[in-house]
Amino acid sequence: MQLEAHRSLADLTTFGLPSAAEHFVCCESVEVVKEALAWRRRSGCPLHVLGGGSNVLFTGDLPGLVLRLGIEGIEEVRRDAEAVYVRVGAGVAWHDFVQVSLDRGWNGLENLSLIPGSTGAGPMQNIGAYGVELEERFDLLEAIDIASGELHTFSHADCQFGYRESVFKRALKGQFVITHVTFRLPLVPDLRLEYGAIREELDCEGVDVPDARAVSEAVIRIRRSKLPDPAVIGNAGSFFKNPVLDDAAFGSLVKSHPDVPNYPAPSGVKVAAGWLIDRAGWKGHDRGTHGVHDRQALVLVHRGGAKGADLVKLAEDIQSDVFAKFGVALEREVNVLPKG
Ligand code: EPU
């Protein structure tokens, strides 16, 4: 295990904000993860686990140990009549895995193309896009208990998936390090074309009978047209979750704003946060070093030279303005660290 002291984290997150880890280790195997956790137990310092860095905002230096997952590998473990089971290292970049799955003729991940971040971070917040969530393709995951260093297997039910949610963000928050995820990918295409602009995009390209690759390419074009590329401009995708309102709250919102985009959700009605922020006048809002993306109001951007606290202040200003104008409380999707 190679420990580094005062390692800058700016290049390890998609926001690119200044921050450094007191101690840092990149773990390329389960054994090194175990070794790093044992070291941290002995030293008693705080621990932060970093995946692809695409859903975090650092407001300062991180005390203690930052453990980055660097476990690689994409391996077919078995197959049955309907599906192939593929075990993937937590450190594999999510989009690289999606591309490999398409190359090998595996289906089911095409709508999730170009989502930034690592495969191990995917189940944490049950990543989703264009009508598909990771949980639909999930078989099981392996994770190490931070307290004991023991390896555990989690089934789909164990993970308690929800909209951008799992048990790892709730009851088991901060207790496990995910090392491998096994997916169940259908051998026969199971295309989802109903959501958003996918069908429109395929029509535009003259694709009559799409396959998984064509859908992936359409999703990539749609995402590129709306979302900033983190390699060019710092961002963490959707900064806020789409709020889920109960019937009474939705009823009063839709009365004053009948055109608010909304979708049924298990516990109420989901409304588009991007629409609320846009209508409140924040789209393209510019504070020099940072601001709100001009094509998608749900995305905050770091143009260079900002501090994490500047982005947090902007987010708070948006939250209070949206609350004042619509009576809707927006919840952050991005994790802010260290906690103040
Ligand atoms: N809208 C506006 N103005 C905006 C942004 C959106 O009016 O500036 C409207 C759109 O016109 C549309 C509605 O709001 O009617 C919903 O917008 P969109 O289709 O762009 O999707 P979203 O709900 O904003 C969600 C996910 C994205 C995911 C897309 C596509 C969340 C918080 N975000 O965005 O996920 O890519 O759907 O499935 O659920 C991410 O999590 O980082 C992310 C990018």
Same domain membership, residue 238 and residue 313: yes
Query: Does residue 52 fall inside a structural domain?
Result: yes
What atom in ligand 1 is closest to the CA of residue 261? Answer: 15
Taking the whole predicted model, whether its pTM rises above 0.75 is answered as yes
Stretch 23-38: mean pLDDT: 98
What's the chain's average pLDDT?
Answer: 96
333: amino acid identity, one letter: E
Percent residues over pLDDT 70 in the chain: 100
Residue 16's domain comprises 4-69
Annotated active-site residue in 137, 164, 184, 223: 164
Q: 86-131: per-residue pLDDT in tens?
A: 999 999 999 999 999 999 999 999 999 999 999 999 999 999 999 9
Residue 51 near residue 118, CB atoms below 8 Å: yes
> Does any domain span residue 215?
no
C-beta atoms surrounding 258 within 10 Å: 7
Whether residue 293 has its Cβ less than 6 Å from ligand 1: no
| Ligand 1 nearest-atom number relative to CA 237 | 42
Examine the domain organization and report whether 95 and 167 are in the same domain.
Answer: yes
Give the CA dihedral 51, 52, 58, 63, nearest 10 degrees: 30
User: Same structural domain for residues 162 and 253?
Assistant: no
Model confidence at 267, pLDDT cuts 50, 70, 90, reads: confident
Is 238 an annotated catalytic residue? yes
pLDDT tens-digit profile of 34-51?
999 999 999 999 999 999
Cα(272) to ligand 1 centroid in Å equals 7
d(C-alpha 205, C-alpha 192), whole Å: 17
Q: How far is the CA of 152 from the centre of ligand 1 (A)?
A: 35
Query: Do residue 86 and residue 122 come from a single domain?
Result: yes
Pairing label, strands 151-155, 62-69:
unpaired
Helices 212-226 and 94-103, packing angle to 10 deg: 150
pLDDT of the residue at 340: 64
Q: Per-residue confidence at 339, pLDDT binned at 50, 70, 90?
A: confident
Say whether both 83 and 26 belong to one domain. Answer: no
| Total domains, the chain | 3
CB distance 282 to ligand 1 below 6 Å: no
Peptide bond into 338 cis (omega under 30): yes
40 classed as catalytic: no
> Same domain, yes or no, for 64 and 83?
no
Paired strand residues for 133: 128
pLDDT in tens, 107-117: 999 999 999 99
d(CA 137, ligand 1 centre) in Å:
22
Averaged pLDDT for residues 234-252 = 97
- Domain holding 145: CATH number? 3.30.465.10
Is the beta carbon of 234 within 6 A of some atom in ligand 1? no
Catalytic residue among 54, 118, 216, 238: 238
Domain contains 201: no
User: pLDDT tens-digit profile of 303-338?
Assistant: 999 999 999 999 999 999 999 999 999 999 999 999
Q: What is the DSSP letter of 305?
A: S
Instruction: Tell me the CATH number at 8.
Output: 3.30.43.10
Could you tell me the CATH number of the domain that includes residue 238?
3.90.78.10
Tell me which residue has its CA closest to atom 25 in ligand 1. Answer: 129
Which of the listed residues 186, 202, 219 is the one where a domain comes to its end? 186
d(CA 277, CA 42): 46
Among 13, 193, 238, the mutation site with the greatest number of ligand 1 atoms within 8 A of its Cβ is 238
Determine the atom of ligand 1 nearest the C-alpha atom of 131: 38
82 given a catalytic annotation: no
Cα radius of gyration rounded to whole Å, the chain? 20
In this structure, are residues 19 and 10 in contact, taking their beta carbons and an 8 Å threshold? yes
